[in-house]
Structure 1
Amino acid sequence: MAYKLLKSLEVVAISVLFVILQNWANAKPQVPCYFIFGDSLSDNGNNNNLNTLAKVNYSPYGIDFPKGPTGRFSNGKNMQDYIAEYLGFTRSMPPFAESKGESILNGVNYASGAAGIRDETGKDLGDRIPLDKQIQNHKIIILRLSRLMRNNIETRLLLNRCIYSIQIGSNDYINNYFKPEFYDTSRRFTQMQYATLLVHQLSNQLKTLYNNGARKFAVYGLSLIGCAPFAISEYGTNGSFCVDKLNNAAALFNERLMLLIHQLNNDLPYAKFTYLTPSPNSTTFVTNGTCCTIGGGGGELCLKNSKPCSNRGRFLFWDGFHPTEAWNEKVAERAYSSESSLEANPFNIHKLAKL
């Protein structure tokens, strides 16, 4: 009798587990689509066919990615790949350069290595897709969505429920303001004026997305760009651990960006903006070196076909500027679930999806 009862309970347990797994497998993403705007930290292949030094569709990039080198500036997944997973998508968003058919229904990645808020940013490296052009590309996708859905109102309602990720601005410093040999911005503006100018332009760009149907925005501040290995070798630290002038400039930008996020939440009806910090605290990563041998691109990328380190899960930096897959996962996890207002303000991506 006891044996039969035990077997019955076992069958019930297996049945319940099967239902749970089936529901999980058939679960819908938390939002219908995810649109990604940004630079090399988010790019997943848009630069591959451009005439630019800022592209990485070669080994050892992608050494830990199932498809190998794809144009991601990492050894494996980037931050956006992980966030898409956390949101429940079964695949990453296709790059705009490869988007076609119904693949766009779940979102598109418009990000481009070397791109900036300003159109001229990154021009010393060659072609790239600035944020204004990324937004124009999004308008093309909206028209394609309208044709697929055959209803402009339904398309608009769909866009209202999607999450828009905007992670950009680093290049406006490292490939603009702090390259006076190519750009005159540091002669025309103080760091404070430049930060104000950038955030004002970004404000207009975000409002353009809003006017085209976006309502849920995940906007990232700048990381400690002065702590990147290439920045340290390029500028020196004068005894500090990092390049203070770069980090100070990023801090000025972030202060103004956070104020903008709160202002837009107040000013734009039904809009939900949140500010996310891309530099979570961690003492478990090697921070003072690169995992690959650099010298490619503009000097900060991995040399083609070079042999990277074997302990990639311990390194923060993969090349001279870009993080490893392990660090990308940590940044994405904090952006998605952090309850700290220092990392996600006023809410994390998980909560943004529910709004």
Structure 2
Amino acid sequence: MWRFSAIIFVVVVVCISFVNCEPKVPCYFIFGDSLSDPGNNNDLFTLAKANYPPYGVDFPGGIPTGRFTNGLNAVDYIAQFLGFEQFIPPFKINMDQDILKGINFASGSAGILAETSYHVGDRVWMSRQLQNYEITISKLGSMVNGTVANYLNKCLYSVNIGTNDYINNYFLPLLYPGTQLFTTHQYAALLIARYRTLLQALYDSGARKMAIYGLGPLGCMPNEISKSGATQCVEKKNEAVELFNTKLVSLVDDFNTRLPKAKFTFVNVYAIQNLTLYPGLIMNTTCCKIVSLSNLCQESVPPCANRNLYAFMDGIHSTDVVYKQVATISYNTTQIPLFVNPMNLSQLISH
């Protein structure tokens, strides 16, 4: 279960006002699922949408953007730490000079596997995100000095995906055959094998500085606790996730050893959420009133009054306060390899 022991960490000094900041990297490319989605799902035919209140209640201007939280998500905070003047925009087919600063390709309900979340509706799974990325970087040739690959070498890449391959695939045995076909070890190996191919493709495009996020304790999500009829974290599900994370660490180590000039780092979200969340954070109740079918917030129903006291906005997604903690620690922690391995994001971009 998540514990509430406080960890003292150095808070990075950043240009959080988005004013007069020189970005520390030329661009920031983001891949993943609803934990990073800034609104890519808004126009898709899917249940996985968050472009309505109460989502965005604490976002600048108090508007819902498609982010599955009350305010910012982790990659938004990282963009601030990097000194970007604006949040990294979602992918659109026709883009101009904005692509020089990077694009966010993340899509709610997306997985490593194409079939993951098919019951939810349309989504941009990881290989489709890479196709959108290829469309994007094909436009950079006329915009940058030198080769596109040399430009991309200096950029930061964030990849946070895999949650849905469990909660919207393997952990749904009535809809997906995963538990009948694979042990938890075999399923984790299947995911990592596919993940390896996808990350290799990013490296081959010119990506060198990559932050790869592990999965959090999914068995502690209100959605997973409710489905299991439990009253606390479902440890069997957490154990399955830890198998995946262990294999992902090995994959990161292998890339760093084998690929020339590769600078990958693993962000241990499981440890960050398990060890550092603030004392008294409410874990077993969602901040918003949820729709039972989707576990997302009911539209226009006011959320809890103090979002800073809640770990979960809805049955699946964290509140802003959790994302800020994950972002801050991953960017600036000195506790290596506990929270990041082999380096934090600040060190990653300086290499």
TM-score if structure 2 supplies the norm length? 0.90
Q: Does 1:208 align with 2:227?
A: no
**d(CA) in 2 for partners of 1:42 and 1:236?**
29
1:146-198 Cα shifts (integer Å, max 9, x gaps): 2333x6x4321110000110000010000001112221121111110000110
Q: Is the 8 A contact 2:47 2:294 kept in 1?
A: no
1:39 aligns with 2:33: yes
Show the counterpart of 2:8.
none
Cα distance in 2 for residues equivalent to 1:215 and 1:36:
14
State the alpha-carbon separation in 1 of the partners of residues 176 and 346 from structure 2. 39
Structure 1 equivalent of residue 310 of structure 2: 315
Inter-partner Cα distance in structure 2 for 1:236 and 1:89: 44
Counterpart amino acid of residue 173 in structure 2: P
- How far did residue 236 of structure 1 move? 2.5
| Mapped pair 1:350 → 2:346 | yes
Question: What residue in structure 2 maps to residue 275 of structure 1?
Answer: 266
Runs of 4+ residues deviating >3 angstroms: 24-27
Q: Provide, for residues 79-132 of structure 1, a one-character-per-residue CA deviation record: whole Å limited to 9, x for no partner.
A: 110000001111111100376211111000000000000001010100000000
* Structure 1 residues 48 and 168: CA distance shift in structure 2, 3 A: same
Are residues 1:142 and 2:130 paired? no
* 1:163 matches 2:160: no
Q: CA-atom RMSD, angstroms?
A: 1.6
In structure 1, what residue type is equivalent to 2:72? K
Alignment counterpart, residue 86 of structure 1, candidates 60, 81, 87: 81
Provide the C-alpha distance between the structure 1 equivalents of 2:118 and 2:142, rounded to a whole number of angstroms: 35
Pick the structure with greater CA Rg.
Answer: 1
1:189-223 per-position Cα deviation (integer Å, ceiling 9, x unaligned)? 11100001101110110000000110011000000
8 Å CA contact 1:99, 1:108 repeated in 2: no
Which of 305, 323, 329 is the equivalent residue of 1:334?
A: 329
**TM-score for the superposition, normalised by structure 1:** 0.89
2:21–2:85: 8 Å Cα contact kept in structure 1?
Answer: no
CA separation of 1:172/1:183 partners in 2, compared to 1, >3 Å: closer, same or farther? same
Structure 2 counterpart of 1:234, one-letter code: K
Fraction of identical pairs, as percent: 47
Q: Distance in 2 between matches of 1:333 and 1:98?
A: 32
Match of 2:56 in 1: 62
What are the equivalent positions in structure 2 for 1:115-126 lying under 5 Å apart? Answer: 115-126=110-121
Tell me which of 288, 292, 302 is aligned to 1:292: 288
Matched, 1:222 2:218: no
Q: In the TM superposition, what whole-angstrom CA distance separates every residue of 1:222-250 from its partner, at most 9, and x where no partner exists?
A: 0000001111111123x6x3012211110
Distance 2:215 2:56 in 1: 24
Q: How many residues align?
A: 328
State whether residues 53 and 64 of structure 2, in contact with CA within 8 Å, keep that contact through their aligned partners in structure 1. yes
- Alpha-carbon deviation of 1:317? 0.5
Distance in 2 (CA, whole Å) between partners of 1:210 and 1:203 is: 10
Match of 1:53 among 42, 47, 51: 47
> C-alpha displacement at 1:299, in angstroms?
2.7
Quick check: 1:236–1:243 contact (8 Å CA) kept in 2? no
What is the CA–CA distance in structure 2 between the aligned matches of 1:197 and 1:244, rounded to whole Å?
21
Q: Quick one: which amino acid aligns to residue 34 of structure 1?
A: Y
| Structure 2: distance between partners of 1:236 and 1:86 | 40
Higher helix share: 1
Contact 1:225–1:231 at 8 Å: present in 2 too? yes
Paired position in structure 2 for 1:76: 71
Whichever residue aligns with residue 295 of structure 1, its letter is V
5 Å matches for 1:230-269? Answer: 230-237=223-230, 241-269=232-260
Q: Is the 8 A contact 1:163 1:216 kept in 2?
A: yes
**Deviation sequence 1:269-300 (CA, Å, 0-9, x none):** 0000000022422242211211000116x431
1:177 is aligned to 2:170: yes
* Residues 179/215 of structure 1: CA separation in 2 closer, same or farther (3 Å cut): same
1:37-71 Cα distance to aligned partner (Å, 9 max, x none): 00000000000000000011011100111240100
Q: What SS class does the counterpart of residue 164 from structure 1 fall into?
A: strand
Question: Larger RCO: Structure 1 or Structure 2 (Cα < 8 Å, ≥ 6 residues apart)?
Answer: 2
**Which blocks of at least 5 consecutive residues in structure 2 are unaligned?**
1-14
